[in-house]
Structure 1
Amino acid sequence: MNQKQYEKIKNEKGFIAALDQSGGSTPKALAAYGIQADAYSNEDEMFDLVHEMRTRIITSPAFDSEYILGAILFEQTMDRTIEGKYTGDFLYEEKGVVPFLKVDKGLAEESNGVQMMKPIHDLDETLRRANERHIFGTKMRSVIKNYNEEGIKAIVDQQFEIGKKIVAAGLVPIIEPEVDIHSPEKEKCEELLNAEILKHLNNLSEDENVMLKLTIPTKANLYKELIDHPRVVRVVALSGGYSTDEANTKLKQNDGLIASFSRALSQDLNVNQTDEEFNTALQKAVKSIYEASI
């Protein structure tokens, strides 16, 4: 693990940019950017277009380490280049932004009110390649839809079981058990989630450190004990479908919680904007998310 990157993520001001849309969410991300499905005829062309979008974001002067601590990448993005360098190297060497990698393979069907992660059969190989590509940490997402004690416990168990393998490979895992913002018992789900995560954190050894990525809680500062826990590098928040303004307002109510937004970062960007328009829109989003994170 890169100690300099660790200190940056743990102690500096800023937020994590989520640029990790994968197969299922890429068409939506492209459509929001102004590129409709008829603009590409196969998956390769689709991923070429989304890499162009990500490259435009990352190379923008608005994408600045003064505000952005890290960026989460999709696996294909890690293996592609920006201006002749692998994306992770470009992020850190040219931008001073710490690279993370999404390692999950998507969500299983809903059961017991939750969607667990699908099996990650090639995890060891992915982690080996992540180390080769100078990736600092990983991210993996599962979703809590409804209050179910068995389901919520199973989600947290799965996240930490895989998280410990990632730690053993020398990377810092971002554990992401998202609570659906539309859940009818969102607050109740979050209270149980908080308790289950705390149990697992208390069982980690001194050299096992993790990050958490959580939905902004209904009850402000619910996750303060997690934020202050000695085994937690940082707790970041997902925007979860909230607009930028709404997500920022809710984030500001939680001390020590910083953003890791995807849609809220890119919602005002469009393929047809001039570079000046694009950079201005991105800078506005970056600064507003940064302000909410500090």
Structure 2
Amino acid sequence: MTTQDFAAKFAAGKGFIAALDQSGGSTPKALRGYGVSDDEWSGEDEMFEQIHKMRSRVICAPSFASGKVIGAILFEKTMDGDVDGKPAPDALKERGVAPFIKVDQGLADEADGVQLMKPLDKLDALLEKSVAKGMYGTKMRSVIKSANPAGIAAVVAQQFEVAQKIIDAGLMPILEPEYDITAADRAEGEEILKAEILKHLDAMPEDRQVMLKLSIPVKAGLYQELVDHPRVLSVVALSGGYTTDEACAELAKNKGMIASFSRATLQDLRVSQSDEEFDAALGKSIDKIYAASVA
């Protein structure tokens, strides 16, 4: 599929993005949930080999190519690996799934109620490699923990600054200023976040677009202005610690937002399952998340 084909899919909103980008810190937990214990691997290379097997099994499952998954976010090592005998980005595109690459290098220490991204000193090289491998876009994450106007403004400014470099490289950026769903002042902070995002969107040139990945808001429909903004290709939602059922119920209240779930997509998958059982469990999650995305 072409870049234009994928853009049309996201604009139509008839599907969702699977987040398969667990990196070093979150991989052991993901493997344990899958049924691979810590004593079954030793060292980073073996750990990533195990998680790559899981991701490959997901991508190769028949339900993954049902047309309901329209994007997948990958960790760099997954992008560099093979799936079904082909480079991972090619395997995804053959299944009608746009490949995105996680480009942030982790979070800085908390200040002003937020965690900015650490300096992205590997960004230029990663973007060059990603373009060469045929990736469609990127994803980068910051975290907001309180309704601090200065902190929220800094998070959004950093996200948009890096996004311009990504667009210049020819890729579609997903900006992810995640709002911690346990924050007591989240409703207030999400209003501040929306205002800051709109300010930067309104300042963008007319020929540029971004995608946004946001926590499902406390107030249903809060982000409708972002969904409808001409500089936004799509607004996607992270599950943020919700179970699949919780995340889907909350997402369905927000017209125009589609899912970009990680744990909520994979939580019922186990290494011990037969291929048929695995695909059935994955298909059940995909159907549920798709229904919430197009509600």
TM class by shorter-chain length? over 0.9
Please state whether the residue corresponding to 2:282 is helix, strand or coil: helix
Matching of residue 60 in structure 1 with residue 61 in structure 2: yes
Which residue is equivalent to 1:180?
Answer: 180
Which amino acid is the alignment partner of residue 283 of structure 2? Q
What residue ranges of structure 2 are gaps of 5+ in the alignment? none
Stretches (4+) displaced over 4 A: none
Is the contact made by 1:112 and 1:148 (CA closer than 8 Å) also made in structure 2? Answer: yes
Cα distance, 1:84 vs. partner? Answer: 2.1
* CA shift in 2, pair 1:12/1:212, >3 Å: closer
Q: Deviations along 1:182-235, whole A, 9 cap, x unmatched?
A: 001111111100000000000000122100000000000000000000000000
Matching of residue 243 in structure 1 with residue 248 in structure 2: no
Please state whether the residue corresponding to 2:65 is helix, strand or coil: coil
Cα distance, 1:273 vs. partner? Answer: 1.0
Please state whether the residue corresponding to 1:260 is helix, strand or coil: strand
Is the contact made by 1:211 and 1:235 (CA closer than 8 Å) also made in structure 2? Answer: yes
Cα distance, 1:65 vs. partner? Answer: 4.4
Which amino acid is the alignment partner of residue 10 of structure 2? I
Which residue is equivalent to 1:6?
Answer: 7
Is the contact made by 1:270 and 1:278 (CA closer than 8 Å) also made in structure 2? Answer: yes
**Equivalent runs, 1:14-29 vs 2, <5 Å:** 14-29=15-30
So what's the TM-score if we normalise by structure 1? 0.98
Which residue is equivalent to 1:109?
Answer: 109
So what's the TM-score if we normalise by structure 2? 0.98
Which residue is equivalent to 1:206?
Answer: 206
Is the contact made by 1:17 and 1:262 (CA closer than 8 Å) also made in structure 2? Answer: yes
Which residue is equivalent to 1:280?
Answer: 280
Q: How large is the Cα RMSD of the aligned pairs?
A: 0.9
Is the contact made by 1:12 and 1:69 (CA closer than 8 Å) also made in structure 2? Answer: no
What is the alpha-carbon distance in structure 1 between the residues aligned to residue 66 and residue 105 of structure 2?
29
Cα distance, 1:169 vs. partner? Answer: 0.6
Which amino acid is the alignment partner of residue 293 of structure 1? S
What is the alpha-carbon distance in structure 1 between the residues aligned to residue 273 and residue 152 of structure 2?
43
Q: Deviations along 1:219-278, whole A, 9 cap, x unmatched?
A: 000000000000000000000000000000000100101000000000011111111111
Which residue is equivalent to 1:82?
Answer: 83
Which residue is equivalent to 1:230?
Answer: 230
Identity among equivalent positions (%) equals: 58
Number of aligned residue pairs = 293
Which residue is equivalent to 2:118?
Answer: 118
Which residue is equivalent to 1:42?
Answer: 43
Which amino acid is the alignment partner of residue 266 of structure 1? L
